[in-house]
Structure 1
Amino acid sequence: MRRIEGERVVAAKVALVTGASRGAGRGIARGFGELGYTVYVTGRTVAPGDAKGWDGTVLPGTVAETAAEVTAAGGKGIAVMCDHGDDAQVAALFERIEREQGRLDVLVNNATFIHHQLIEKKPFWEKDLDAVKILDVGLRSAYVASWHAARMMVRQGSGTIAFGSSFGGSCYMHGPAYGAQKAGIDKFAHDMEHDLRGTGVIAVSIWMGPLVTERSLIAQKTNPEQYEGFIETAENPEFTAHIIDAISTAPNRDELSGQTLIAAEIARELGVTDRGSERPSYREMLGSPRPKNPAAVY
């Protein structure tokens, strides 16, 4: 897909958004579509009914539907069924992008394992042990995808590796497995920046605020006291895509690389709004990202 810029024909940027059947990934993919990107959207859902909300209801969304929404928004959506817990499937995904596009401009690591007890107010030992799978699909899988993306991006001399994170990387949120996954991907961005420095490729982690997604709307009904007033200030996930795009072309992109950035704050700095609205930062309530540490030990 190409777009016209003045009298020049410019090839559309290429993004990969992992875990985009629904939720944050689906909205982020749509956001890139609004910006004219060619977007590869991955997920395991090819038929509705594979995923359920907190109240047991079937969640909508498939990779094909997301890809169609990307195209309808102005980009080109390409659906790929991919289990990010399977390294061979991930390798095949990147080989396909290389073969079909010859480049990758943005990787958004969003795929993660959502346990059905995630938001239950129970100590971790009273939840099922398989809640720890978020460290397989969510942490390890982000490393694997970033490894493949870095090899492509460093060769081409440009690119952005982004991690979808949250304030749970600092404060207690949904239990220790969730927190460890968020803290881990924040550290991935920090340490990958050190290795990527000077290559033209940057890495950032984005602390998104509360998002309007299928699961969060159900959570609002399931726990009305906890989520009271949430819709009024919640971020649309398309907002995250617009922020990542702005970071990738920002004059200070190298300075931003390696940082964990609060979406609402960096959006204000870069002049990005969420459908015309500014969103609040929860820094005072939930904590601050760790600053970049210049020390390096080999």
Structure 2
Amino acid sequence: MSGPLEGKVALVAGATRGAGRGIAVELGAAGATVYVTGRTTRARRSEYDRPETIEDTADLVTEAGGHGIAVPTDHLDPAQVRTLVDRIADEQGRLDVLVNDVWGGEHLFEWDTPVWEHDLDNGLRLLRLAVETHAITSHHALPLLLRHPGGLVVEMTDGTADYNRDTYRNSFFYDLAKASVLRMAFSLGHELGPRGATAVALTPGWLRSEIMLDTFGVTEDNWRDALDRVPHFAISETPRYVGRAVAALAADPDVSRWNGRSLSSGGLAPVYGFTDLDGSRPDAWRYLVEVQDAGKPADTTGYR
């Protein structure tokens, strides 16, 4: 059987691991051709020095039922991004979904460190990786996306517009980066909406990415062992959950109703009827406000 995105072409910028990989795989499961980009390949690692590669992601896309194509790309280099988009245009003649998920800042921000004490070079590089990459990619990719009506741009961030407006997020540089991406979706909504396309900001909840699992010393199979150390981790979700959110948006003929808005995986799950891999529907951002930030004991009852 063909999936709802059969014949559609997606670019997931920053698909080496984490949310980007989960999104790419779920787009593939829906039948899409998915170009996956990043800097870590089987031949060369980025400064993250981690084992996940874009080739692995492309293989997972194909195994899920789509067509995964890995293209090594540094999204800070406009020439590389232009070459990438030219290749998609030559090979497919269209682009239906653009996911801007480039981040790369885990090792660059310092928790609860004021801007005058934070390493300036690291902070400025974080902003370049988290913000400039998105702008470069949109600049080059959007003309191709606009060739056909109904295109979708997903700006991936951390936190909803409501939550981030009222909450300090870790450091000056981290806070600025995540707020900037939310605003990008708002601005793109104004520019794309009249031209027949849709832009949204999307956040996962507490993501059980490869890096997060390693930080807690657990795997996806035994992730609950981390609850003894961090009880609120019980609200966490797999990268595939936000991937299903993107796939649902991309298949929605009425997706323009979300144009310019800030969305979350947990908020979209009941709207579109998808679940995480374990059949649950974690609503992390509501949980954070009503339980964790309120100082209540960890209890996900009613939140997943």
TM-score range, shorter chain: 0.7 to 0.9
Contact preservation (8 Å) 1:158, 1:199 = no
Give the deviation of 1:50 after TM superposition.
Answer: 3.6
Please tell me the residue identity of whatever aligns with 1:206.
L
Residue by residue, what CA displacement relative to the aligned partner does 1:48-78 show, whole Å, maximum 9, x if unpaired?
65444xxxxx522111111111111211111
Give the deviation of 1:109 after TM superposition.
Answer: 0.5
Please tell me the residue identity of whatever aligns with 1:43.
G
Please tell me the residue identity of whatever aligns with 1:219.
T
Give the deviation of 1:251 after TM superposition.
Answer: 5.1
State how far apart, in whole Å, the 2-side matches of 1:128 and 1:286 are. Answer: 30
State how far apart, in whole Å, the 2-side matches of 1:75 and 1:62 are. Answer: 18
State how far apart, in whole Å, the 1-side matches of 2:34 and 2:25 are. Answer: 9
Q: Which residue of 1 aligns with 2:116?
A: 125
Inter-CA distance 125–286: structure 2 relative to 1 (3 Å threshold): farther
Normalising by structure 1, we get a TM-score of 0.83
Please tell me the residue identity of whatever aligns with 1:86.
D
Q: Which residue of 1 aligns with 2:140?
A: 148
Give the deviation of 1:233 after TM superposition.
Answer: 2.3
SS of 1:12's equivalent? coil
Contact preservation (8 Å) 1:165, 1:206 = yes
Give the deviation of 1:5 after TM superposition.
Answer: 7.3
State how far apart, in whole Å, the 2-side matches of 1:5 and 1:131 are. Answer: 42
SS of 1:218's equivalent? helix
Normalising by structure 2, we get a TM-score of 0.82
Give the deviation of 1:124 after TM superposition.
Answer: 3.6
Q: Which residue of 2 aligns with 1:116?
A: 107
Q: Which residue of 2 aligns with 1:280?
A: 283
Stretches of structure 2 that go unaligned for 5 or more consecutive residues are 219-225, 291-304
Contact preservation (8 Å) 2:19, 2:243 = no
State how far apart, in whole Å, the 2-side matches of 1:4 and 1:217 are. Answer: 34
Please tell me the residue identity of whatever aligns with 2:263.
L
Residue by residue, what CA displacement relative to the aligned partner does 1:272-293 show, whole Å, maximum 9, x if unpaired?
2112211124246459xxxxxx
SS of 1:123's equivalent? coil
Residue by residue, what CA displacement relative to the aligned partner does 1:145-175 show, whole Å, maximum 9, x if unpaired?
1222321122212210001112274322221
State how far apart, in whole Å, the 2-side matches of 1:46 and 1:149 are. Answer: 22
State how far apart, in whole Å, the 1-side matches of 2:249 and 2:59 are. Answer: 26
CA RMSD of aligned residues (A): 2.7
Give the count of matched residue pairs. Answer: 276
Contact preservation (8 Å) 1:110, 1:163 = yes
Please tell me the residue identity of whatever aligns with 2:113.
K
Please tell me the residue identity of whatever aligns with 2:34.
V
Residue by residue, what CA displacement relative to the aligned partner does 1:218-258 show, whole Å, maximum 9, x if unpaired?
33349x79971355321211222221222233354222110
Stretches of structure 1 that go unaligned for 5 or more consecutive residues are 53-57, 288-298
Q: 2:212 aligns with which of 216, 219, 227?
A: 216
State how far apart, in whole Å, the 1-side matches of 2:13 and 2:240 are. Answer: 14
1:161 partnered with 2:153: yes
1:60 partnered with 2:51: yes
Give aligned-pair identity as a percent.
35
State how far apart, in whole Å, the 1-side matches of 2:248 and 2:12 are. Answer: 16
Q: Which residue of 1 aligns with 2:174?
A: 178
Please tell me the residue identity of whatever aligns with 1:217.
L
